[in-house]
Amino acid sequence: MSISTSTQYQYILVSQEGRVGTVQLNRPDALNALSPELMQELVEALEAFDADDAIGCMVLTGGEKVFAAGADIKKMASASAMDMLLVDQLARWDRIRKLHKPVVAAINGYALGGGCELAMMCDMIIAGETAKFGQPEIGIGVIPGAGGTQRLTRAVGKAKAMELILTGRQFSAQEALEMGLINKVVPAELTIEEAKNLAKAIAEKPAIAVRLGKEAILKAFDTTIEGGLDYERKLFYLLFASADQKEGMQAFMEKRPPVWTHS
Ligand code: CAA
């Protein structure tokens, strides 16, 4: 395992194990509140892994007691609407949505407001049994601004999203699992290990097929079924230009394990 320490980053820790790259939010004194500076470091680190051929999948995690307590309320409390509009700091968060490689969120403790939205921007979520999710923005006079009204609604449906966003109540990992928001609940001490195991299983698969699989699944959220099926079929055909398609099918016929080159 290689770990690059805070010489490069102030608010996150970055490490790599095999083909899995991990980013840990590390601003404990503010409960990992997602300040513009932290978010800048986070998107830079994730984009660096995304561009690195040696990485196949990423894990995003926070602390033992807090994944992230949301956007930094202290930094935006006195902002005017024009400050918010012109600085448009949440636009930076969009860069996470554009990552090509899958990201597994490993959540322990609070994932509130922007913290819940950041988890939902990831492609899969593993949560410790003490994790607490929520969109509490209504309690500070706003609504979610980093995708909560859209992603929570798509994941759990209109009625539940209305209840959760309009009351701001927290919900448990178990409730999140039952609503279909997350993949799995595990004992808190196993959250990161479980997320890394999932990331490792994906990172060992042929990288171009993983990338196009992610792209096709995400397409389902912003297209008609007709358009989505068409898109999927084209990506399927495109994979026949990859060396791993030739290797995968040849290995199947020769009854041997495939040797992926991720090309
Ligand atoms: N922004 C800035 N600072 C925060 C913060 C946040 N979102 N959340 C916590 N902190 C700070 C607290 O102000 C406190 O700082 P001080 O020590 O300087 O007073 C420190 O972190 C510890 O917090 P608490 O004393 O409140 O800790 P707690 O254990 O009693 O409670 C908590 C934990 C339930 C997470 C509580 O801190 C909380 O409710 N935080 C705010 C959650 C929230 O409303 N998030 C939504 C933010 S808006 C948003 O995210 C918009 C969007 O859609 C992008």
CATH code of 243's domain:
1.10.12.10
Band of pLDDT at residue 4, cut at 50, 70 and 90: very low
Band of pLDDT at residue 6, cut at 50, 70 and 90: very low
For 202-231, write each residue's pLDDT tens digit.
999 999 999 999 999 999 999 999 999 999
Is residue 2 predicted with pLDDT exceeding 90? no
Domain identity same for 141 and 113:
yes
Closest CA relative to residue 124, chosen from 44, 47, 214: 214
73 Cα–ligand 1 center, Å = 7
For 72-97, write each residue's pLDDT tens digit.
999 899 999 999 999 898 999 999 99
Q: Answer yes or no: is the C-beta of 110 below 6 A from any ligand 1 atom.
A: yes
Token readout for 15 is 């490490």
By annotation, the residues acting in catalysis are 71, 114, 117, 137
Domain identity same for 115 and 218:
no
Q: Whose CA is nearest to atom 8 of ligand 1?
A: 69
Q: Do residues 70 and 33 touch, judged by C-beta distance below 8 A?
A: yes
For 106-157, write each residue's pLDDT tens digit.
999 999 999 999 999 999 999 999 999 999 999 999 999 999 999 999 999 9
For 18-68, write each residue's pLDDT tens digit.
999 999 999 999 999 999 999 999 999 999 999 999 999 999 999 999 999
pLDDT of residue 26: 98
Decide if 260 is inside a domain. no
Distance (Å, whole) CA 38 – CA 34: 6
What DSSP character marks residue 242? Answer: S
Q: Whose CA is nearest to atom 48 of ligand 1?
A: 71
Q: Whose CA is nearest to atom 4 of ligand 1?
A: 30
Q: Which domain, by its residues, includes 49? A: 3-203
Into how many domains does the chain fold?
2
Is residue 194 predicted with pLDDT exceeding 70? yes
63 Cα–ligand 1 center, Å = 14
Band of pLDDT at residue 8, cut at 50, 70 and 90: confident
Sequence-distant (6+) residues with CB within 8 A of 257 are 251
Q: What is the DSSP annotation of 50-116?
A: HT-TT--EEEEE--SSEEE--B-HHHHTT--HHHHHHH-GGGGGHHHHT-SS-EEEEE-SEEETHHH
Domain identity same for 119 and 219:
no
Ligand 1 atom nearest to CA at 147? 53
Domain identity same for 228 and 171:
no
Domain identity same for 139 and 244:
no
Band of pLDDT at residue 5, cut at 50, 70 and 90: very low
Mean pLDDT of the chain: 96
User: Which pTM does this prediction carry?
Assistant: 0.95
Q: Answer yes or no: is the C-beta of 33 below 6 A from any ligand 1 atom.
A: yes
Ligand 1 atom nearest to CA at 65? 29
